[in-house]
Amino acid sequence: MQSPIGIFDSGIGGLTVANAIRQVMPHENLIYFGDTAHMPYGDKSAEAIKYYSLKIGKFLQEKGCKAIVIACNTASSLGYQDLKDFLGDDLPILNVIDPVVEFCSLQPQYHKIGVIATKATIKSDVYAKKLKIALPNIEVKSLATPLLAPMIEEGFFNNNISKTIINTYLSSAKLKKIDSLILACTHYPLIRKEINEFYQGKVDILNTATIVADDVKQKLEVLNLTNTSKEEPKHQFFVSDKTKAFETSTQLFFGDKINLTLKNIWDKV
């Protein structure tokens, strides 16, 4: 029960999920791996993303994690099943897509759902396929927004540059008349305020990080894996390439006292 929860993403985006998990499960120990050397995943091939996911998953397994959360929509859409098959049934592997689809299926007021994500996630069509199964009468409008994740990764948000890029994307005819919007990249909750300002509160912007965190809590409770210890939790942060933006973002969520470690896992067999 006191073993850590493993979380990984291509960069800082997964920190939104890690922070949300910490909020709903404050006693849990966390190990986070940000694959900043290969960020962004959205323009990588499916084979590359699967490879990265398997290597990171193996690393987190070796660190003794009791569950692994793929805090990346691109890796969730392309590497989730491979990672489950690779690590076996004894280690719970959780993705960020299924909880959001399940949440949407419980919202009868949704009729036209928009999805913005990386090129790879949109190309996989995973949200549209899963939403159509859960809600056969739903209309799904998907749009690739490839500039957003790198922009956020470099710290360009909450300024005129980000506002121009965000507004240009959201003005696309593909998102016309949507009633709800899935931020299908874990980086995007960091610009949720700006997206909400564009829609002036007329579109429901899903807080995907919170939805995923609640799902992780529920699943660990069912498996009797929640940490009941009252000791101060320990959080470890690993990156494949140290960047100032990642360090700043980590401190934004978790304070100044962080253990940020550069880790090369790619040469291991």
Instruction: List active site positions.
Output: 72, 185
Question: What is the rounded distance in angstroms from the CA atom of residue 46 to the CA atom of residue 52?
Answer: 10
Which residues on neighbouring strands pair with residue 111, listed in sequence order? none
CB atoms within 10 A of CB 152: 25
Sheet with 204-205, strands from edge to edge, namely 139-144, 112-117, 180-183, 204-205
**Contact, 156 vs 149, CB < 8 A?**
no
CA distance 74 to 144: 12
Q: Rounded to an integer, what distance in angstroms lies between the CA atom of residue 84 and that of residue 134?
A: 23
CB of 170 closer than 8 Å to CB of 115: no
| One-character DSSP codes across 202-220 | SSEE--HHHHHHHHHHHHH
Q: CB-based contacts of 144: which residues, under 8 Å, 6+ apart?
A: 116, 117, 118, 119, 122, 123
